[in-house]
Amino acid sequence: MTQDAIERAWDALVGTARRTVTDGLVVGTSGNVSARVGDLVLVTPSGVPYDRLTPADTVAVDLDGTQVRGRLAPTSELPMHLEIYRRTTARAVVHTHAVHATAASTLVTELPPIHYMAAALGGPVRVAPYALYGTPDLAAHMMRALDDRTGCLLRNHGTVTYGDTLDQAYDRTAQLEWMCRVWLTATSAPGHTPSLLSPAELHEAATKLSGYGQPH
């Protein structure tokens, strides 16, 4: 893997991490972002404001978690990121503490299918049981919630999504937070129960979404 490729990937990763702050998905240094480049995983460091990161701060580990680049310690959520890379085809992972998603995670074991964009994450979004951050238990709970999904909620914690690119992983996070906000807003109307989509309707949406966008 060339130094240029690593530098480009780091710049994109830092840009995505800063975007999570700008868009209100995290506060301070909460949340983290990673990208796989060959056999390396670039990841945001622990406890460092994203606006202070420079190319000299590049942090990289191998798939076993051994740090191979950088002087800063990697995020404490590294076990979660690595488990996704080991067990899926992910090239990027975004973890946030988004307000509405975190609130929703305390109320349900699965986000009710309030909108067809749930199909873009593989189906109804599950909530992984609570476990202490940075632990193998949390990573294991998360992976069960991610079975056949590209995003999930972490109880009393936040969101995790992954994708083929940083942009895709980020967009999935933003969509998940938006769906949680819609559901919380709908359920707050006194005397009303929001309508939900059926499995057949979600499947229909998934089929149509698979061809969405411009042809390549």
Mind telling me the catalytic residues?
77
CB atoms within 10 A of CB 206: 16
12-45 pLDDT tens trace: 999 999 999 999 999 988 899 999 999 999 999 9
Confidence of residue 210 (pLDDT cuts 50, 70, 90): confident
Tell me the C-alpha distance between 180 and 212, whole Å: 23
Structural domains for the chain: 3-209 (3.40.225.10)
- Whole-structure pTM value: 0.94
Tell me the C-alpha distance between 36 and 164, whole Å: 10
Confidence of residue 3 (pLDDT cuts 50, 70, 90): confident
Report helix, strand or coil for 46. coil
Among 53-57, 158-162, 193-197, 211-215, the least confident range: 211-215
Residue 214 has pLDDT above 60, yes or no: no
156-203 pLDDT tens trace: 999 999 999 999 999 999 999 999 999 999 999 999 999 999 999 999
Residue 69, amino acid: R
Owner of token pair 């949680």: 180
Q: Report phi then psi at 45, rounded to 5.
A: -80, 165
